[in-house]
Chain A
Amino acid sequence: MKQEVVLQIRNGRWERLELGMNFKEPEDQNKGKPILSDFLDDESMAKIIQDFLNEIPHRIETIESHFDSGNKEQLCRIVHQLKGAGSGYGFKIITTNAQALEKKIRLAEDAWQKTAIKARENLVAILYRVYAGRNISGQA
């Protein structure tokens, strides 16, 4: 399953990301920089952070696919899980952005995709930056 995801990502969108083409124009000077876990030095967390990072491409795919297909319930579920787990893995920024997206999706009714598009872009961009930090020394 993981291999399939990696191949898919390598042959498609992810390669573009690694070339730096997939990022939106940064709104602040930190935008685009890799994000590292707060628990970089915590050995007991190394393995699960590594797994978390390896799964990010698949999570981005899932978020985008549910968003595009209008599957509100499943989208809420995965975003809610990221909100709950993000800080636990040392990425407060994931929790903050997932919370913002979840709120937008839940509060809006018929036009929820329109209302939530910016929040979705923000969360996905954050996930890319977290993933981009996976090979930095000390992390994973």
Chain B
Amino acid sequence: MTQNKIIPKVLAIDDSELIHRLLEARLQGEDLELHSATSSEEGLKKARALKPELILLDITMEGMNGFELLDKLKEDIETQNIAVIFISGTDEPMDKVRGLDMGAIDFITKPFDAFELKARVRSALRNQYLMRMLEQRAQLDGLTGLWNRTYFDNRLTQEFSEAKRHRRSLTLALCDIDRFKRLNDQFGHPFGDRVLKHVSQIFSGGRTSDVVCRYGGEEFGLIFPSTNIERGCEVAERLRVAIEAAKWSGNPDLVVTASFGVCDIECLEDDVTPEAMLKLADKMLYKAKQSGRNCVKCAKKKKD
């Protein structure tokens, strides 16, 4: 996991150009990237595309008002966790109650004080950062730093539906370290942990689009979006070779190997679901184990 500092994105949605200019001037120098939309419709599009950390949202706009827009944001899984602060000219307590009850995190009344605005934006971004960190931590494997099983299940479902919708290919590989129990028994559990960490590093050094997860124990799940079975098998084979070639300090003669089962979405027969895909990859992994381990077994395409 890289620790590069990410500049948070803030999207201001307001139909008044005057307010956009004011926000730009007042938030200048703050550690954030400010984007603007002058209508709710444009705001919704930008929120989906940019996935900002924070939205500053006006209530009174032509067409869809701020409340209706917040509803749309909360309905969409991609935008529902974006923090929203209402910035509104209304000072009606019931509007504030309604906004906060709908899931906005704060309410700033226009005209706003520049210092108060900055402090509230900073506070919202701090909380959002902590929330996202907690969410991410809950989906990470503590030992290897890879995504965990929960994340894997969700991501596979998401990638599967994207692949079907856009008629893109999708490949799944399951990998299991060979005779891992024997490694643990012979060299001790700390060494077993070292193997898991090193294999994880090899997997993480692959293509940036690949999703690498610790599926459980010594088993890993690798999702290759927009990748067909031929290319997926090449990637799996390259990873298998890299694991086999790894040197283990203190045990120079030791060779650790791994087996892979690979399938893509086009290999599925009648049951075209993420569960069926996982089952097929598992079946191919079993075949690899049956074939003497340290190999990659790929499913055949349905048409073949």
Contacts and interface: CB of A to CB of B under 8 A. Distances in A.
Interface in B102-142: 110-112, 114
Nearest to B109: A84
Interface stretch (B17-25, B166-174, B193-201): B17-25
Contacts of B110: 83-85, 88
Interface in A86-131: 86-89, 92, 95
A85 B22 contact: yes
A81 B58 CA distance: 11
A114 B89 CA distance: 25
A31 interface: no
A85 B62 contact: no
A95 B111 contact: yes
Nearest to A47: B25
A84 B19 contact: yes
Interface in B32-64: 60, 62
A51 B17 CA distance: 11
B260 to A, nearest CB: 58
B161 interface: no
A60 interface: no
Interface in B61-104: 62, 88-89
Nearest to B23: A88
Contact of A89 (B22, B62, B89): B22
A27 B2 CA distance: 66
A77 interface: yes
B162 to A, nearest CB: 40
B18 A89 contact: yes
Residue in A80, A84, A86, A87 with the greatest tally of chain B CB atoms within 10 Å: A84
B111 A44 contact: no
Interface string A7-29: 00000000000000000000000
Contacts of B26: 44, 88
Nearest to B22: A88
A44 B28 CA distance: 8
B60 A80 contact: yes
Interface in A56-95: 77, 80-89, 92, 95
Given A47-B25, A88-B111, 6 more contacts: A44-B28, A52-B21, A80-B89, A84-B110, A85-B16, A89-B18
28 contacts: A44-B25, A44-B26, A44-B28, A44-B29, A47-B25, A48-B21, A48-B22, A48-B25, A51-B21, A52-B21, A77-B60, A77-B62, A80-B60, A81-B18, A84-B16, A84-B19, A84-B89, A84-B110, A85-B18, A85-B22, A85-B110, A85-B111, A86-B111, A88-B19, A88-B26, A88-B111, A88-B114, A92-B111
Interface of B: 15-16, 18-19, 21-22, 24-26, 28-29, 60, 62, 88-89, 110-112, 114
